[in-house]
Amino acid sequence: MRRCGADLDAAAATGTEGADTVLARTPLTGGTFARLPAATAERTDAAVDEAHRTFHHWRTVPAPRRGALVKRLGELLTAHKEDLADLVTIEAGKIRSEALGEVQEMIDICDFAVGLSRQLYGRTIAGERPGHRLAETWHPLGVVGVISAFNFPVAVWSWNTAIALVCGDTVVWKPSELTPLTALACDALLARAAADAGAPPGVHRLLLGARACGERLIDDPRVALVSATGSVRMGRQVAPRVAARFGRCLLELGGNNAAVVTPSADLDLAVRGIVFSAAGTAGQRCTTLRRLIVHEDIADRLTERMVHAYGQLPLGDPFDAATLVGPLITTAAHTAMAEALATAQRDGGKLLTGGDRCFATEAPDAAYVRPAIVRMPEQTEIVRTETFAPVLYVLTYRTLEEAIALHNDVPQGLSSSIFTQDQREAERFLAADGSDCGIANVNIGTSGAEIGGAFGGEKETGGGRESGSDAWRAYMRRATNTVNYSAGLPLAQGVNFL
């Protein structure tokens, strides 16, 4: 296995060493290769204070000029794409193509945001009073606190930051403690972009630290919006604390995504879409496919093909171009996977393939695990629970109504898909009483969303929307304006007064 530093050890189980230190580690070996100073309470408060003060200037800068900063960031990301992708692979364990794809996603969202900087449209509204104009305008919101997760260490930050900056907000970023080097690299590139574009350095501040750092950010009333990506448990803690101070939340939480496969499906296409969605990123995407709901007439045939495809997946060093499955982020993730598989089998499930750990001799502190497929007799509690690892549960159905009910019978509601060549089945799945997820796809898997659409989900996924479409509105405040250009003062609803 590739070594990623001279000072490798097994001390980093979670990526943090203490309140004063953040450990830079790699899931490729499970070892640590740097110790970085963590943000103190005073440093956190100072970062928010600087961002808050900078906001009062930044919000007055014309939006196209704010877009020039993001344009420059996109240029620097393009120039350093390979280097940043290396860091993503080292810290998150992503295979090379996925790491490069994540950086490309950053470049794409910068392009989107630059165009958006000239399209922050309000609207004119039909009013009832003569000589009056009724309109809606959008204004910068304030400081945006971004809390991101390890599995997309740079892309999710860019979704929030590029949009927030063109909207006139400033950003304070608390990245995952598991990926501090990618965060430092992004912060350095944005600082350079700010200098090149003539923007104040306080438009963005980085805080390396663990839970206490994030909690201080969440509780600060100067942070107008907290955009947090992580587990449902984390969201349950964040939302009420932000609400208690009447701040805003944008939550991107867990997913327990399913694909329905109907008898009319193109199985060649379905297998490709399923394997990428279920095994890509070693099952560590919020959009990872975790439940496969297959018509009983084709279940045996599709399952056999899936098992064969899984057997062909190259697992190992993510820097190797042939590798398709890299390591889990920590050995604790493998423990959770093993426990889930054991529970599923106690519930009557049959493990068809995978679940075993590889390279334990070469990398004893890393967790290389073969993606697993489990045939389940019913949707038990463990199937309804998200396990952040490559575990795919296979369930069967008889009618499409039964499949949709099974699909929706989980607490999460992020991404979904159906494989079918029947237009009626596709439209039924996309209808109001079909998939209850924020993302519903036809003939593609649950992973791989484009930046042009709004990304997010319903139910315990949190209800937030990031990236494209009109997701920018979450980063701004709305004002309704009435302008009286007449000489009279008619009141609305025909009210007479004085």
Enumerate the active-site residues. 252
Nearest to 28 by CA among 369, 335, 316, 278: 316
Question: What is the rounded distance in angstroms from the CA atom of residue 78 to the CA atom of residue 94?
Answer: 19
Alpha carbons within 13 A on the beta-carbon side of 306: 31
Quote helix, strand, coil % in the chain, to nearest 5: 40, 20, 40
User: Which of helix, strand or coil describes residue 189?
Assistant: helix
- Token pair of 178, please? 């598991």
CA–CA gap between residue 384 and residue 62 (Å, rounded): 48
Give yes or no for a contact between 267 and 453, defined as CB atoms under 8 angstroms apart. no
Q: Can you tell me the distance from the alpha carbon of 327 to that of 89, in angstroms, rounded to the nearest whole number?
A: 10
CA distance 285 to 87: 18
47 contacts 205 by C-beta, under 8 angstroms: yes
Q: What are the residue ranges of helices labelled H in 93-231?
A: 96-116, 155-166, 180-197, 211-219
Asked if 182 contacts 150 with a C-beta cutoff of 8 angstroms, the reply is no
User: Which single residue is written with the structure tokens 């499409």?
Assistant: 400
Report the distance separating Cα 331 and Cα 112, nearest Å. Answer: 38
Distance from C-alpha of 498 to C-alpha of 491, rounded to nearest angstrom: 11
Provide the residue type at 65 as one letter. Answer: R
User: Quick check: 117 and 67 in contact, CB under 8 A?
Assistant: yes
User: What tokens appear for 240 in the block?
Assistant: 């009420």
CA nearest to 394, candidates 313, 288, 303, 307: 303
169 neighbors 179 (Cβ within 8 angstroms): no
User: Residue 167 and residue 5: Cα distance in Å, rounded?
Assistant: 40
Which amino acid does the sequence have at 468? G
In 3D, which of 114, 314, 147 has the Cα closest to residue 214?
Answer: 147
Task: Give the burial class of 101: count Cβ atoms within 10 A of its Cβ; 0-12 exposed, 13-18 middle, 19 or more buried.
Answer: middle
